[in-house]
Amino acid sequence: MATFVLIHGGCTGGWSWETVVPLLEKRGHTVLAPDLPGMGEDKTPLKDVSLDYWARFVARLIKQQAEPVILVGRSRGGIVISRTAEFAVERIRALVYIAAMLVPNGETMGAVSDWVPRDTSFLVLSDDGLTLTIDREKAKAATFNTTPDDVAERLLSRFGPEPAASFTWPMHLTEERFGRIPRVYIETLRDRAIPIELQRLMQRRLPCRTVITMDTDHAAASSGPEELSAHLSAVSEYIR
pLDDT tens-digit series, residues 177-203:
999 999 999 999 999 999 999 999 999
Domain range annotation of the chain: 3-238
Strands of the sheet containing 123-125, edge to edge, are 123-125, 131-134, 162-163
Phi-psi region of 150 (alpha: psi -120 to 50; beta: other; left: phi over 0): alpha
Distance CA 132, CA 69 (A): 31
- What is the C-alpha separation between 234 and 178, in angstroms, rounded? 22
CATH architecture of structural domain 3-238 = 3-Layer(aba) Sandwich (3.40)
Q: Say if residue 116's pLDDT is above 90.
A: yes
pLDDT at 240: 72
**127-174 pLDDT tens trace:** 999 999 999 999 999 999 999 999 999 999 999 999 999 999 999 999
By three-state DSSP, how is residue 74 classified?
A: strand
Q: Percent of the chain scored above 90 by pLDDT?
A: 99
Q: What is the pLDDT of residues 216-231, one digit of tens each?
A: 999 999 999 999 999 9
How do residues 52-62 score in pLDDT, each as one tens digit?
999 999 999 99
Closest CA to 200 of 142, 136, 116: 116
Q: What is the pTM of this model?
A: 0.97
